[in-house]
Amino acid sequence: MPTSHLAGPVLVIGTGLLGTSVGLGLRAKGVAVYLQDISPTAQAVAHDIGAGQPLDSEARVAPELVVIGAPPDVTATLVAESLLKYPNSTVVDIASVKGSILDAVNADVRLSDADRARYVGTHPMAGREKSGPAAARGALFTSMPWVICAHQLASAASVKTAEALAIDLGATLHRMDVTDHDESVALTSHFPQAASSMIASRLLNAQAHQLGLAGNGLRDMTRIAASDEKLWIQIFSHNAKALIPILSGMKEDLDRLINTLNNPTGHGALLDLSQLMSEGNAGQARIPGKHGAPPQAFALVTVVVDDKPGQIAALVADIGEAGINLEDMRMEHSAGHQVGLVDVSVLPGRRDELINVLTNNGWKVAQ
Amino acid sequence: MPTSHLAGPVLVIGTGLLGTSVGLGLRAKGVAVYLQDISPTAQAVAHDIGAGQPLDSEARVAPELVVIGAPPDVTATLVAESLLKYPNSTVVDIASVKGSILDAVNADVRLSDADRARYVGTHPMAGREKSGPAAARGALFTSMPWVICAHQLASAASVKTAEALAIDLGATLHRMDVTDHDESVALTSHFPQAASSMIASRLLNAQAHQLGLAGNGLRDMTRIAASDEKLWIQIFSHNAKALIPILSGMKEDLDRLINTLNNPTGHGALLDLSQLMSEGNAGQARIPGKHGAPPQAFALVTVVVDDKPGQIAALVADIGEAGINLEDMRMEHSAGHQVGLVDVSVLPGRRDELINVLTNNGWKVAQ
C-alpha cells in the first residue's frame, strides 16, 4: 500500500465528480474514507465504485479532515456546519471560487475564530466535461494544480493537513490568497469558459452547410462550451467581481474592432488590426509550457495516415522505438474523408531524426 | 504515377505556404508545375523542395491553369493580369476571402466578360500556424474542405478545371456563391481567429504565477492567437462586412453578461447566466463530427502514463492490437509534473472492451 501523508479518516461531503474522485484517490492510498451526500443515489454510486464507506448523517465519527465537495452556493453553509459538528477536524472545500466562501464563513455568527482556524479553502484545477460520481476517477488530480488559500485565521496545522490532501492525490501545490486565486482563475478558467460559450452561441442560427467548413480552430474555441450549465452559472455569479474587468477589457477590444471594420480602408485601420493580432501573439506566447518550463515551441511533423485500426499504433510505435518522446499529438478532423493527418510534436532538436525514422519506415511525412 | 484530373501544365503565382503546397501536391500527381514569385528567394525555396520549375516572368508558356497564391490585397490584380497574359488559361485564386476579389475582377475595365468567364474564385480551408514555402507540404489539402465559388459569368469548363485542382489535391469539394462563402468563413474561421486574439490579449498584463494555473481550456482558446499577423489583417479588412454582424452579436452577449455580473444576485441574473451556458451548449453541439457524420460524442477513457519514450507507443499499440480505432487522443499538459494523463476517444460501443483490454495489459485506467 503506498504511504499517505494523511492519517485519516477523511469524510467527503458531496459525492459528485470531484468529491468522489477525492474518495477514490485516497482509498488507493489506503486512507479510510466516509462518504455523505444529500442524494442517496449519488452516495450509493460513489460507494459502489469504491470511493469509501457511506456515512449515516447521525453517525458519530471524528475525521482528521472533512472535504466539502458541493456546489459553490451551499459550500459555505456546509463548511460552517462541519466546523461545528466536528470540533477537532480540519475542514476544506474544493469549490472553484474562494473569496465569496471565505466571506460567508467569516460572517457566520455561529463560528468562533478558533473554528475558523480549522477551515482552509482549496481549489483543485481539475474537471471533466462530464459530471456526477460515475465520471469520477482517482487520478483526476494527478499532476494538476491544486491551489491552497490559507486565510489570516487559518492554523498552520490545518493548512498542513489541506496540503497533505493535495499531495496524497498527486497534485501540484500552488499557494495564493483568496483574491489572487479568484483573479487568477477568472483569467485562466472562468473568462475562457464565458468566451467559449458566447462564441458557440453564434453557431445557433448558422445554416448546416456553413458549419461544414468548421475546422480545428472553431472546434478548439468551442470545446469547453459543452460544459455543465448548473455548475458554471454559480461560478460566474460567485466570481463576478474578478470577471467584470476582464470581460470589460474584451468589450473594449471588440468595440474597437467593430469600429475599425466599419471603415476598413480608413486611416489607421490596418494598424488597429495589426495591433489586435500582435497583442494576441504576445499574450499567447506567455502561457507556460509543459512541466512548468518556459513556453517552448515544439517542432511539428505531419504524417498522412489511413483512418483504420492499427495505423496510429504503428506510427507511435515507430516513434517510440526510435527513443523519441512524443510531446503532443493531434489528429486533424475534417468532414467527408477517410484519410487523416496526424500532427506529431517533438522537441525541436529531435525533428530531423524523427522525419528520417518515419520516412525510413515508409510513412508519408507531409513536406 | 497516380492519375490526375488536370492535364497541366499549371502555373503557380505566389510560392508561399499555400502556393508551394499546391505545387508539391500536383508534382506528386505527375502534373507539370511552373513557379513564379516576386521574391526570388521564395521562388528558389519552392523549386528546391520540389514544387515545380521556376518560370522567368518573360517566358512564354500556355498553362491549362494559373493558380494565384498571393495575399488578398494583390490577388485581384494578379488574377486580371493572368487572364490577360494567358488568354486560354483558367485562372483561380486561393485567397481566404472571395467577395472583394470578385468585385475587383468585375470592376477591372481591362477585362472582357469572356476573360471573366475563365476566372473561378476558390478557397482551400487549410493552413498552418507557420507560413512561407519551407512550411509547405503536398498533403496540406488532404481531406480538407475546398470551396469553389462559381460566379455568374464563370464558364462550365473553367469551373470543372478549378474542381479538378481540388480533387487532384485530395480535398473535399464544397460549392457556394461568394456571399455564402464569405459569411460561412466569417463564422467558422475569421470570427474564431479574432476572438482568440482578443482572449490572448487579456494575458498580456497577467502576473506569471497567475498563468501557472493555465489548463487545456485556456490553451485551446488561444492556440490560433499565434497565427500570422500580416495575413490576418488583410483577411479581416477584406471580409469586414460579413464579420461585423457576428462580432456585434458577441458584443450584445458580452454587454448582457457584464450587466448581469454587476448585480449577480439580482432578479433574473441566474436565468441570464443559464441562458449564456445553454446557448453555448446548443451551438457547440451543432458542429459536425468527423467524416461529415452527425455530431457524435465519443467515449473517453483516461489512462495514466509516465512521461517518457515508449509509453504512448505501448499504449496505442495495445489499443491497435485489440482492433479498436482511436478516434482522438489528447495529452493533458500541466505544469511541474512528469506524470501525464492521456484521454483516448473511441466509439461508445467499444468503451468497455477498451477498458478491459487496457486493464488486462496492466494500464492504470482512471475511474
A71 and A169 co-located in one domain: yes
Within a domain: A227: yes
Within a domain: B2: no
Contacts 24+ apart (CB under 8 A), A29-35: A29/A1, A29/A2, A29/A3, A29/A4, A29/A168, A30/A1, A30/A2, A30/A4, A31/A4, A31/A6, A31/A7, A31/A168, A32/A8, A33/A8, A33/A9, A34/A9, A34/A10, A34/A61, A34/A63, A35/A11
pLDDT classification of B335: cutoffs 50, 70, 90: very low
Determine, for residues A312 and B308 on separate chains, whether the beta-carbon distance falls below 8 Å. Answer: no
Chain B nearest C-alpha distance from A89 (Å): 28
**Residues of chain B contacting residue A330, judged by C-beta atoms under 8 Å apart:** 330
Determine, for residues B236 and A319 on separate chains, whether the beta-carbon distance falls below 8 Å. Answer: no
Q: Percent of chain A, pLDDT > 70?
A: 92
B39 and B156 co-located in one domain: yes
**Residues of chain A contacting residue B209, judged by C-beta atoms under 8 Å apart:** 174, 176, 184
A126 and A239 co-located in one domain: no
Quick check: B69 pLDDT over 80? yes
Contact B29, B138 (CB under 8 A): no
Chain A nearest C-alpha distance from B266 (Å): 10
**Partner A contacted by B356 (CB < 8 A):** no
pLDDT, tens digit, for every residue of B178-226?
999 999 999 999 999 999 999 999 999 899 899 999 988 899 999 999 9
Provide the CATH number for the domain around residue B196.
1.10.3660.10
pLDDT, tens digit, for every residue of B90-137?
999 999 999 999 999 999 999 999 999 999 999 999 876 677 888 888
Within a domain: A153: yes
B161 and B197 co-located in one domain: no
pLDDT on residue A341: 72
pLDDT classification of B291: cutoffs 50, 70, 90: very low
Provide the CATH number for the domain around residue B313.
3.30.2130.10
Quick check: A311 pLDDT over 50? yes
Most A CBs within 10 A among B142, B184, B265, B284, hence the mutation to make, goes to B284
- Answer with the residue of higher pLDDT: A183 or A322: A183
B125, B254, B364: residue with CB nearest A215 = B125
pLDDT on residue A356: 87
DSSP state of B294: P
B214 and B334 co-located in one domain: no
Within a domain: A209: yes
**Residues of chain B contacting residue A240, judged by C-beta atoms under 8 Å apart:** 261-262, 264
pLDDT classification of B174: cutoffs 50, 70, 90: very high
A37 and A141 co-located in one domain: yes
pLDDT on residue B324: 82
Chain B nearest C-alpha distance from A111 (Å): 25
**Partner B contacted by A227 (CB < 8 A):** yes
Which one of B163, B179, B195 terminates a domain?
B179
Within a domain: A139: yes
Average pLDDT over residues A180-185: 97
A139, A147, A312: residue with CB nearest B326 = A312
pLDDT on residue B35: 97
Quick check: B359 pLDDT over 90? no
Quick check: B330 pLDDT over 80? no
A189 and A272 co-located in one domain: yes
A136, A203, A331: residue with CB nearest B283 = A203
Chain B nearest C-alpha distance from A114 (Å): 31
Which one of B179, B208, B243 terminates a domain?
B179
Average pLDDT over residues A270-280: 92
A229, A238, A317: residue with CB nearest B277 = A229
B192 and B242 co-located in one domain: yes
Contact A143, B366 (CB under 8 A): no
Provide the CATH number for the domain around residue A68.
3.40.50.720
Contact A8, A26 (CB under 8 A): yes
Chain B nearest C-alpha distance from A173 (Å): 9
The range of the structural domain enclosing residue B327 comes to: 299-366
Chain B stretch 336-355, residues whose beta carbon is closer than 8 A to a beta carbon of chain A: 336-341
pLDDT on residue A340: 66
Helix residue spans in chain A (DSSP H):
17-28, 40-48, 72-85, 99-107, 113-116, 156-168, 178-185, 191-201, 208-211, 216-222, 229-238, 240-262, 269-284, 311-321, 351-360
Lowest-confidence segment of A25-29, A133-137, B162-166, B302-306 by average pLDDT: B302-306
pLDDT classification of B307: cutoffs 50, 70, 90: low
Within a domain: A222: yes
Within a domain: B290: no
Number of domains in chain B: 3
Within a domain: A292: no
Which one of A177, A204, A230 terminates a domain?
A177
A167 and A188 co-located in one domain: no
pLDDT, tens digit, for every residue of B312-323?
777 887 887 888
A173 and A39 co-located in one domain: yes
A171 and A189 co-located in one domain: no
A23 and A93 co-located in one domain: yes
